[in-house]
Amino acid sequence: MSGTPTFKRLPRAVREQQMLDAAVRVFSRRGFHAASMDEIAEAAGISKPMVYAYLGTKEELFVACLHREGTRLMAAIAGAAAPDLPADERLWRGLRAFFTFVGAHRDGWAVLYRQARGERPFAAEVATMRGRLVEVVAGMLDHALRARGREVGGTDLEVVAYALVGASESLADWLADHPEADPEKTATRMMNVAWLGADQLLRGVTWRPPEA
């Protein structure tokens, strides 16, 4: 029987990556629960027991996806935003790397941001990653503040950083749904909002609620 000449045999490392690719694609569209292991196996061009043999249960497979995509994303950002640059330059490079990455890995982004957030066992994983990002941004702001001889409460700083990260994520999500949009231009827009606001804050300008 040589109708379909039984696909080539491949070394484990290669197959694992193929499986992860397929899993990310399927998870991104269907979500964790609605995705079936059969569909993932088929998308990977392999049979189901192979997936179990190499990557473990469905949950472990999802975590593996999360780790791979998350690590790649963080590496892209960290690689771009060298710590010895001035704050605005660092922010700019980080943002550009971020949006470029999302533009080039829409599925991975969808898994990280849309699917993993709500599902009980995975949310913590993502939260930790975001936490590291927030810390970096907050550290950047703090550094810039001290350079200007000013100081701001830790929580305030953290919350501002959180807002900036959130805005970026949100724009990234917009980008993921608009394939025609330019990542670099999106990064510029984000930079406009983020930096102009942050810059004001750094100068000591603040807004206060009306007394009424």
Cα 199 to Cα 115: distance, rounded to the nearest angstrom: 34
Asked if residue 198 binds a second copy (CB under 8 A), the reply is yes
Looking at 4-12, 24-32, 47-55, 97-105, which segment touches a second copy (CB under 8 A)?
A: 24-32
**Which long-range contacts link 1-7 to residues 24+ away (Cβ below 8 Å)?**
7/45
**Locus of tokens 């999106």:** 186
**Per-position DSSP letters for 123-172, written without gaps between them:** HHHHHHHHHHHHHHHHHHHHHHHHHTT----HHHHHHHHHHHHHHHHHHH
Applying CB under 7 A, which residues contact DNA? Answer: 6-12, 15, 34-38, 46-50, 52-53, 57-59
Site string for a second copy, 165-184 (x = CB under 8 A): xxxxxxx-xx---------x
Single-letter residue type at 41: A
Looking at 4-12, 14-22, 61-69, 157-165, which segment touches a second copy (CB under 8 A)?
A: 157-165
Cβ count near 92 (within 10 Å):
20
C-beta of 47 vs 192, nearer to a second copy? 192
191 binds, among a second copy, DNA, none (CB under 5 to 8 A by kind): a second copy
CB of 155 to a second copy, least distance (A): 9
Secondary structure of residue 173 in the 3-state scheme: helix
Site string for a second copy, 90-129 (x = CB under 8 A): --x-----------------x---xx-xxxx--x------
Cα 171 to Cα 74: distance, rounded to the nearest angstrom: 17
C-beta of 49 vs 131, nearer to a second copy? 131
Q: CA-CA distances (angstroms) from residue 169 to 96, 114, 158, 173, 205?
A: 13, 11, 16, 6, 26
CA-based Rg of the chain, rounded to a whole angstrom?
A: 21
92 binds, among DNA, a second copy, none (CB under 5 to 8 A by kind): a second copy
Q: CA-CA distances (angstroms) from residue 208 to 38, 76, 167, 198, 212?
A: 56, 37, 22, 16, 12
Looking at 4-12, 43-51, 71-79, 163-171, which segment touches a second copy (CB under 8 A)?
A: 163-171
CB of 33 to a second copy, least distance (A): 3
80 binds, among DNA, a second copy, none (CB under 5 to 8 A by kind): none
Enumerate binding residues for a second copy (CB under 8 A): 29-34, 88-89, 92, 110, 114-115, 117-120, 123, 156, 159-160, 162-171, 173-174, 184, 186, 188-201, 205-210
